[in-house]
Structure 1
């Protein structure tokens, strides 16, 4: 299958390689560009745990002057991939969530006590789920530090747009609601894709699927919010059409 990869780099290239090993043909078209903010101050005083909901926050932390201090604190990761990134960076105490911000908030409510100290959420400039509000409703104090920005693309790459308009792409992988919104907006702005010629949208979650529903394309949603489950959808589609 020929598949559009919309993640920002370096995740786009990593996902493309995973697709190639499964026999698919990726077309890379990052819809976000990541900028790290190395001068962001981490208020770690009294923090009982860090919250990480993106591997990009960990990549920003890797070059941060307070990295060594931060690594001494337990970390709560939104899902498997983020947890793996935290372990690779050097965190020793990593709690793994079930893949969504809402699920992570529930896990924190079960596992931690507000009286043990504030939590620090390492974020980007856009937050898909307001963990702070969800946790503060249960008595937690949540600090936030923005470690990176994600700038949206203002156009699809020429190759990707041409293949979309010609109906040559079998699918597009969408891993966040924001990316899905950007994809839909760019098609509305620059594309001429009709629903009958559109690729299947392989989505990490129902929230992402809702963002592309107006396009009228076929949509598949992963069984759980993990990248491996999104790729499994592609494998299943390829096998059924063989």
Structure 2
């Protein structure tokens, strides 16, 4: 299959961590065209940790933003949203990593079951856009969550040339969308480029139902949703759909 991968490029440019999703797609024989719809800007500083009992991370970008990780942070428990973030945390040296199911609501349940509210503050290393408000979700249980913005994302001003060309010529079999915000940017940019009708051909592989919902303005976009919101399940979804979409 010819797939359009819309997630941000790894950043900063010197970051050695490969894109496991892209590598997995290529390894399964797919042709991947990269067309990032968001650019990640990293803050590059770990916030103060006095009185903190644990860190929360809901994106690998947050770990990239604060690397290299100071020893004081590595000694704290880290609660990660899903397997990809957990794996990166372990590679960076965190000694206690507690893995969530891949979404914010599920991670809130894991936090409540794993920690005591009386143990100290929690620091959520986050971006400028929150898919799920952990602080509000955990407040009724008396947890104090301090949300620290360590990176931000900027939408592409126009549809990347690679995406526009592939849509215009009908060469795409699928579009990989990993977040609701990315899907919203995709909808806006294809519409502004006059290519909304062309999105009816490729199958849109969505990380979650929220991603699918963000595509609703396109009307005719075909969608398939991963069984769980992580890269492994996205690869499995594409593998299941590939015979029918080739």
Matched, 1:194 2:197: yes
Matched, 1:60 2:61: no
Q: 1:48 to 1:196 in 2, by over 3 A?
A: closer
How far is 1:72 from its partner? 1.1
Q: Compute the TM-score of the two structures, normalised by the length of structure 2.
A: 0.92
Work out the CA distance in 1 between the residues paired with 2:112 and 2:20: 33
Q: Compute the TM-score of the two structures, normalised by the length of structure 1.
A: 0.93
Work out the CA distance in 1 between the residues paired with 2:203 and 2:194: 16
Matched, 1:222 2:220: no
Work out the CA distance in 2 between the residues paired with 1:151 and 1:196: 23
Q: Name structure 1 gaps, 5 residues minimum.
A: none
User: Would you say how many aligned residue pairs link Structure 1 and Structure 2?
Assistant: 239
Q: Check conservation: 1:52, 1:122, Cα contact below 8 A.
A: yes
Q: Name structure 2 gaps, 5 residues minimum.
A: 11-16
Q: 1:37 to 1:196 in 2, by over 3 A?
A: closer
How far is 1:115 from its partner? 0.7
Q: Who is 2:13 aligned against?
A: none
Q: Check conservation: 2:167, 2:198, Cα contact below 8 A.
A: no
Secondary structure, counterpart of 1:3 in structure 2 = strand
Alpha carbon RMSD of aligned pairs, Å?
A: 1.7
How far is 1:195 from its partner? 6.0
Written as runs of structure 1 = structure 2, the 5 A alignment for 1:27-106 is 27-38=33-44, 40=45, 42-63=47-68, 67-106=70-109
Q: Who is 1:8 aligned against?
A: 8
How far is 1:159 from its partner? 2.2
